[in-house]
Amino acid sequence: MWVYRPDGLPAGSPAVVALHGCTQSADAYYTNSGWRKFADLYGFALIFPEATTPPSNCFQWFQEGDIGRGQGEALSIAQMVSYATTTYQLDPDRISITGLSAGGAMTAVMVAAYPELFDAASIVAGLPYRCSPPASTSTCMNGPVTKTPKDWGALVRGAYPGYTGPRPRVSIWHGQADYVVNKANGVELRDQFTDVLGLSQTPASTAPAGRHHDGDVPRR
């Protein structure tokens, strides 16, 4: 992992864990995602885990041995968060996590398997937790894979049986012209985490989102 701390960041500051997409690296995501600007502006640390699985450096959100509590990549990322929190004297109650594409899918893994570590999460062009059969990426990406909110939520609750503590708030972002990850995954993610958090799938309000310039959006 790599860590960025703005100059003079005081003890007890919050942090954001940022997970890159396939074919990217932690350094590329740090350089191109824009997170440093906001870390400097608002005063928080950044933690950048890096996937190193060849050939595409994808986080293994679809491998059974990497998405459960206490094993594989999920455990490794959890250990990075704990190490950084202790070493850099961060506030353990204000750790958020975000990810893009495969990193977004791995963000769903982390909030399912380690809900106690995170205050909030942002899933960008990601996929629901346990949406694909083991070792298969195409089923969900090309999708859609459709389940009821209750069934989606049960998969998250099953990641940490018996957990009764607070769960992180989840923000879901998915472009409606996404040609890499089927846009239906945004709807299924909504169903999964509204069920987990005990919220209605019907929005309290709706509004159009602003359109970003292509140069501001990191490639996956």
Return the active site residues. Answer: 101
Q: Distance between CA 206 and CA 116 in Å, rounded?
A: 30
What phi and psi values does residue 153 have, to the nearest 5 degrees? -65, -35
Q: How many CB atoms lie within 10 A of CB 165?
A: 7
Q: Distance between CA 10 and CA 91 in Å, rounded?
A: 10
Residue with tokens 């629901």: 128
Contacts for 84 with CB less than 8 Å, ≥ 6 apart: 1, 3, 15, 45, 47, 90
The neighbouring-strand residues paired with 121 are 97, 170
Residue 29 amino acid letter: Y
Residue among 11, 13, 12 nearest 39 (CA): 13
Residue among 41, 49, 125 nearest 83 (CA): 49
Q: Distance between CA 58 and CA 24 in Å, rounded?
A: 8
